[in-house]
Amino acid sequence: MSEPTPRIVTCPTCGTAVKWTQGNAYRPFCSERCKLIDFGAWIDEEHKIAGNSVEDDLLSGQLDEG
């Protein structure tokens, strides 16, 4: 018997190819770090509303370049 080829997914945080296996507890993320970053992204949005104009300006500049 040969093992089935694991499905490859892309980490939503960093774009790394990740094997979708039962051994990967962080799927579809490549690591715990990327999972936490993604979960924290919307929390950061809440914090920015609370008031951090400097960081908001930096992020806006990055978006304009895209």
Cβ neighbours of residue 50 closer than 8 Å, sequence gap 6 or more? none
Q: Which is nearer to Zn ion, 21 or 52 (CB)?
A: 21
Q: Which is nearer to Zn ion, 9 or 14 (CB)?
A: 14
Q: Which is nearer to Zn ion, 16 or 52 (CB)?
A: 16
- Residues 64, 11: Cα–Cα separation, whole Å: 24
Provide the binding-site residues for Zn ion, judged by CB under 5 A: 11, 13-14, 16, 30, 34
Q: How far is the CB of 27 from Zn ion (least distance, A)?
A: 11
Q: What are phi and psi of 17, to 5 degrees?
A: -70, 130
